[in-house]
Chain A
Amino acid sequence: MSTLEIKDLHVSIETEQGTKEILKGVSLTIKTGETHAIMGPNGSGKSTLASTIAGHPRYTVTSGSITLDGEDVLEMSVDERARAGVFLAMQYPVEVPGVTMTNFLRTAKTAIDGEAPALRTWTKDVKAAMQELRIDADFAQRNVNEGFSGGEKKRVEILQLELFKPKFAVLDETDSGLDVDALKVVSEGVNRAHSNGNMGTLLITHYTRILRYIKPDFVHVFVDGKVVEEGGPELADRLEEEGYDRYLSGAGAAVAPAAQA
């Protein structure tokens, strides 16, 4: 049983107009076996939270903490975080020229486990996971994400999730840009990884659509860098009907009470 704890996190970025605060005090606790959905309108800071957990250098933590079973995650380099068990499925996976998927997957698995995977079972595992996610076998020989469609890139992210078996998975808008079939395939992959009971999931999404396939235990609504409302799965249903308008229209003072709730 592991715990990923985010406490009063403040994050800013450098822009041409100067320093801009994006996260204004976020607190969240995720435990193994739990699925948390973070929902919110564009620009609310959802993806900033994801990138900050993974350690993207663009984001500066000005105060607050992130700990994994008590260990200070913010003190860790990007690769150390991954090896500690944090996985970020990226919103826009980059193409890495010159590195084949096969080579990449094996190198990453070796780094995460601290030893090279047994070649025979590993090849089999990769093949099986690719089949389940309906990724063509020839992708293994292609360069990482190079020339992949948006949907293919997302499937490859989930492939890594299944193979690397992290303690915590952060899915940054994995559902955006997917058609319904691809969404189902990807969701099944997440559910498979989750069903082993050794993973906590932080699912970041703009839409409620993916929550039909991945059932959250908790829903947090993000507006302007803060959690303004929290609840169970029923909150997602309400958002589906009402959208984010009621958080936005009132702005400022109107949402403040909810934030403190």
Chain B
Amino acid sequence: MTETTTEKARIGAPSAQPFIDGFTEEGENLSPINADGTVAAPSSGPLAGDSAKGHSHGGGVGVPDSSRAGRLTSYTLEDFKALTGLEEDWRFTPLRRLRGLHSDALTGAAPAVTVTAPDAVKVETVGRDDKRIGSAGIPEDRVSANAWANFTEATVITVPAETSLDSEVSVVLAGNGTEASAQHVVIVAEKFSKSVVVLGHEGTAVVSENVEIVVEDGAELTVVSLQEWNDDSVHASSQQAKVGRDAKFKHIAVSLGGNLVRVTPTARFAAPGGEVELFGLYFADAGQHLEHRTYVDHAQPNCVSNVLYKGALQGKDAHTVWVGDVLIQKQAEGTDSYEKNQNLVLTDGCRADSVPNLEIETGLIEGAGHASATGRFDDEHLFYLMARGIPEDVARRLVVRGFLNEIIQKIKVPALEERLTDAVERELAAGDN
């Protein structure tokens, strides 16, 4: 496997840069970003299965490595091997731009946390030994485990049982430096509570973050994670939710700013009857790497999940990645699930990777679907709108705004919807220069 084919696939309309690095007529080479000659290409692909078991820590006997269930999880950093960039879950991420989040001790100051919340909400800062740490999450990769090994204190936000909040909980995480740091946040929505929690990431930071989310029985929780970092920031965020009986969890990731942002929202059903929605919106400009990996683990019967991520790309080397995993386990009868990713490529020189993975271990389900579509802003769309007198820049904005609006509308917090609409406008305006 040392040979690399030089022929590259052509996609779409003729453009100044018709080739995509790492692609051949046969498909995609593993990790074109990270394979710089220092690491040999793997002798077996991601579907190597049992034959590769000797190198694996995850899943146990009988679970193939290719299954999401086979992924190693551990609270101990040392359990995770040093990253090479060839791992299935890191193959799209430019490790050189992680600024040590995967390799260094994360001793920098974590972004400062400021919580604004209705009186009923309990906000605490706790040490590593608090019993709620580890109640919903367990690291699934080395960067997350590194944060777990290094964080010094955690913010715990609790919405008391049977409390309906009339305004959202605002958590601002303000970065103030580029020293690699670790952050830990725990959100607990107690039984039958109703709440919206907004995590606003801003400023400049190099941070690996773990967010644990407990949605207790019958609770309804919306978590919005905004990545509005300055351009030099690097952010890896593992956001894991444990969803109780008949609970409803909505998660919305919005990534606009930062040099490299990698958000991995995971939802695990702990009991039957739960409902999960994972939504995402991202807008990558020149040079930005915005990555989202979602995972819905249907381990319980009669649960519903819906995943929808929409992204726009503009400018040279704007790169987005969406990998959606849905696992419907054998016992998860009556599952209804769907996942979809749509990307809109606005200019030449962008790259959108999109991988919808669906594993189904039982046929006794209501539904399971996965879809992905990546399209250019079409010349025919532009012609149609311009033929109605609409100038090109207005037409472009009209389409992008409309495209991304589908996600913004799902937030259902008017002030936040307005703020995000403005943020998208700014992204578009920046692209006109």
Contact = CB atoms under 8 A, between A and B. Distances in A.
Contacts of B395: 79
A61 interface: no
Interface in B380-433: 380-381, 383-392, 394-395, 398-406
B386 A79 contact: yes
Given A111-B390, A164-B388, A98 B403 contact: yes
A164 B399 CA distance: 21
Nearest to A160: B388
Contact of A108 (B379, B389, B402): B389
Contacts of B399: 96-99
Contacts of A100: 402
Interface stretch (A16-24, A51-59, A133-141, A199-207): A51-59
B378 interface: yes
A78 B400 CA distance: 20
A82 B389 contact: yes
Contacts of B400: 98
Q: How large is the interface on B (under 10, 10 to 19, 20 to 34, 35 or more residues)?
A: 20 to 34
A144 B379 CA distance: 16
A119 interface: no
Interface string A62-96: 00000000000000011101110000101001101
Interface in A159-193: 160, 164
Interface in B194-239: none
B419 to A, nearest CB: 20
Given A82-B389, A111-B390, A98 B402 contact: yes
Nearest to B398: A99
Q: Interface centre among B381, B388, B390, B400, by most A CB within 10 Å?
A: B388
Contacts of A112: 388-389
B394 A107 contact: yes
Interface string B144-178: 00000000000000000000000000000000000
Nearest to B395: A79
A112 B383 CA distance: 15
Contacts of A148: none
A109 B356 CA distance: 40
Contacts of A90: 384, 387
Contacts of A104: 385, 388, 398
A79 B402 contact: no
B403 A97 contact: yes
B383 A78 contact: yes
A29 interface: no
A188 B403 CA distance: 35
A208 interface: no
A107 B390 contact: yes
B387 A82 contact: yes
B263 to A, nearest CB: 23
Contacts of B398: 99, 103-104, 107
A96 B389 contact: no
B391 A111 contact: yes
A79 B392 contact: yes
A198 interface: no
A57 B383 contact: yes
B398 to A, nearest CB: 5
Contacts of A93: 384
B389 A98 contact: no
A143 interface: yes
A81 B405 CA distance: 30
Contacts of A108: 385, 388-390
A67 to B, nearest CB: 19
Contacts of B392: 77, 79
A143 B389 contact: no
A79 B401 contact: no
Nearest to A79: B386
A96 B390 contact: no
Nearest to A100: B402
A98 B390 contact: no
Contacts of B390: 79, 82, 107-108, 111
B400 to A, nearest CB: 8
Contact of A82 (B386, B401, B403, B405): B386
Contact of B386 (A78, A97, A103, A144): A78
B393 to A, nearest CB: 10
Given A103-B402, A107-B394, A143-B402, A96 B381 contact: yes
Most buried by B among A79, A94, A143: A79
Contacts of B406: 98
A218 B389 CA distance: 28
B387 A55 contact: yes
A49 to B, nearest CB: 15
Given A99-B399, A103-B402, A143-B402, A94 B389 contact: no
Among B378, B402, B403, which residue has the most Cβ atoms of chain A within 10 A? B402
A83 B383 contact: no
A16 B110 CA distance: 58
Given A99-B398, A103-B398, A94 B380 contact: yes
A111 B387 contact: no
Contacts of B383: 54, 56-57, 78
Nearest to A55: B387
Contacts of B381: 94, 96
Interface of B: 378-381, 383-392, 394-395, 398-406
19 contacts: A77-B392, A78-B387, A79-B388, A79-B389, A79-B390, A81-B387, A82-B386, A83-B389, A88-B387, A94-B380, A96-B399, A97-B403, A98-B401, A98-B403, A100-B402, A111-B391, A111-B394, A143-B402, A144-B384
Interface of A: 54-57, 77-79, 81-83, 88, 90, 93-94, 96-100, 103-104, 107-108, 111-112, 143-144, 160, 164
Closest 6 CB pairs of A and B: A98-B402, A82-B389, A108-B388, A78-B386, A98-B403, A111-B389
Given A77-B392, A94-B378, 8 more contacts: A83-B389, A94-B381, A98-B405, A99-B385, A99-B399, A104-B385, A108-B385, A160-B388
